[in-house]
Structure 1
């Protein structure tokens, strides 16, 4: 057995050198141990890093998978939101169309109500017109209308005559005979009987509005002339204390005897028509109650005509100028009054000689057959 204490080797040195070598050996051993420990620590750290790496990879995979799932969910959500937005836009367009339609319908209703209010104002405040019951009754479901009296101008060619019989059957018999030989003393003429046809209105539709500047004054006294009547009305309704104002013009309607008053300002007419009845002084201390109603402005919106044939009147054509107008007219009328010639009682007769042009005026409604 041997030990370090039993032997000591000294080569070219002293004991102090050996001690340094031993110290270095010890130091190297410590360094070696430290290196081994560091190596062990490195291995442990490496393993830890690998474990962390694996954990990181697992975690990264989970996060990536979660992100992919979130992206897919987000894409689905975005698609759903896009579809919902498109649906909402369509609904918005539909609602806007409904609102526009409702507004248009409201405007139409407002216009309709305006016309109804005007019709109500007119129908409840019309000029006074005396009527009498004739004893005839019946059911009448006709819509609101205005009475129209026809004023037809019928052009007559030269060498023609219009003859109106009291009996419709006589006129029809004259037409059926067509040609008529009329003896005029030494000569005989041949006339042709033709029906009297004229173009008359069949449908007239008007769009009316109340004029804000004009009023219609009716129930006027009959003992004043036109100028005096209008002067009194202008004087009365030109004063503010009577509800009037500055008058621009007055017009007398010859067919009805009513007066149209036009004011400079548009706010006057409404107040006068709301009151309707007004006491106007037409003489000294004498007042007459007149009625003030709205004045209508209007335009024709629909107009249709039809050809009507007079059932009592016949046109005689081909009359030569063989004698003076009055004599020829008398002889023709006498001829067609005789029942032996197919005629009858004559109500009216008008002769227009050759070379002349006349207009026959039909004022009253003529019996017609369609």
Structure 2
């Protein structure tokens, strides 16, 4: 074929629809379209069914997930409630335990305080100043043991123009009180009238005392006889030195009834160390002397019951004017109340306080059996 050959476009003209061939071709084309549409419809139906199934599955899954979520929430809520109940119970138990701990600590603190007090009492009872005793060989029944008794010392303030008379016999005092008024002859047609009244004293009937060891004081015993001022000075110097376990001394005094010495320190804690050592070699006079250091007790009255009693042998005379010298008037009064004709008797003690003066009488060992007046 040569290059200069000519090409021509051949077109196929579809048969006319007015012809049988055209109609048959149109029917064939419509059938193809119909079959194609059926296929598409079938595919769409299949896709629809698949989507419906998928939607159903999703709905079922969603319902299941929602139910599982509700179950989980309910379970979580129940578990949370249980845990909260456990927490509340644990808090309750903790509060009870804390309360129990506080009670135990309070009881322990109280027990420690009681033990400390008992220990102090034990230390005191086992470390009192020594006292030499002589056993005479006499024994007695425990039922016959006398109870502890205290001899009171009552200070009785006297008004001016009064006198106290203590007779040897109680019956004499009763006679004087029964007569009540007494006309005392002073000589020279001069006399005075005095009135006799009973002496009422308030006495302790029951005394309860709590004692504790003083943290700043010590009691020194086993001391030699000698000059008091020199002894106190030596003791103060010794116990003020730190090498002896002492410290700054605030006061140093001697107890007149026992002859023991009380040393008071400025600071606390010093007394305890000296008490633990107990015996100390102190240079007194020219030689060293072994003194004993024991606790000093502080006492506090916790219960006091009193009773009023009349002195059985003492009479109070009132209305005594200052008409002459004190000694002369006292002698005349004593003479009057010694005479049996005046209802008097033997006088044990006589104390006169003139008008305008102040005086106090000291009653020692007041009881129904014994009475003393100073």
TM-score with structure 2 setting the length: 0.75
In terms of mean alpha carbon deviation, does 152-161 or 25-34 score higher? 25-34
Alpha-carbon distance in structure 2 between the residues aligned to 1:193 and 1:248: 50
**Aligned residue runs from structure 1 range 145-224, under 5 A:** 150-185=152-187, 186-187=189-190, 189-201=192-204, 202-203=206-207, 205-206=209-210, 208-211=212-215, 213-222=216-225, 224=226
1:41–1:12 CA distance, 2 compared to 1 (3 A): closer
SS of alignment partner, residue 213 of structure 2? strand
Distance 1:358 1:11, change over 3 A: closer
Supply the distance in 2 between the matched residues of 1:61 and 1:238 (Cα, whole angstroms). Answer: 96
Match of 2:129? Answer: 127
Equivalent pairs, count: 350
1:288-322 Cα shifts (integer Å, max 9, x gaps): 33211123456556666554433332211222344
SS at match of 1:127: coil
Cα offset, 1:218, TM superposition: 1.1
- SS in structure 2 opposite 1:316? strand
The SS at the match of 1:60 is helix
Q: Distance in 1 between matches of 2:103 and 2:17?
A: 124
Question: Structure 2 CA distance, aligned partners of 1:141 and 1:74?
Answer: 78
Q: Which digits, 9 at most, give the CA deviation of each residue in 1:40-96, with x for residues without a partner?
A: 132223223333333443443344344334434443443343344333333322322
Check the 8 A contact 2:207/2:301 in 1, yes or no.
no
Q: Within 5 Å, which residues of 2 pair with 1:14-33?
A: 29-30=31-32, 32-33=34-35
SS in 2 for 1:314: strand
Q: How big is each residue's C-alpha offset from its partner over 1:155-205, in whole Å with a ceiling of 9 and x where there is no partner?
A: 211221111123334434433443344444545544322222234555353
Residue 272 (structure 2) aligns with: 270
Unaligned regions of 5+ residues in structure 2, if any? Answer: 1-13, 370-374
Alignment of 1:105 onto 2:107: yes
Cα distance in 2 for partners of 1:219, 1:93 equals 58
Question: Hey, what does 1:315 align to over in structure 2?
Answer: 316
Corresponding residue for 1:361?
A: 362
How far apart are 1:35 and its partner, in Å? Answer: 3.1
Q: 1:193 to 1:132 in 2, by over 3 A?
A: farther
C-alpha distance in 1 between matches for 2:223 and 2:162: 44
Deviation at 1:152, TM superposition (A): 3.0
Q: 1:225 to 1:332 in 2, by over 3 A?
A: same
Which residue is equivalent to 1:3? none
Deviations 1:117-167 (A, max 9, x none): 22222221122345567978734677xxxx876443322112211111233
CA–CA separation in structure 1 for the residues paired with 2:285 and 2:65: 110
CA contact (8 A) 2:322 2:355 kept: yes
SS state at 2:232 partner: helix
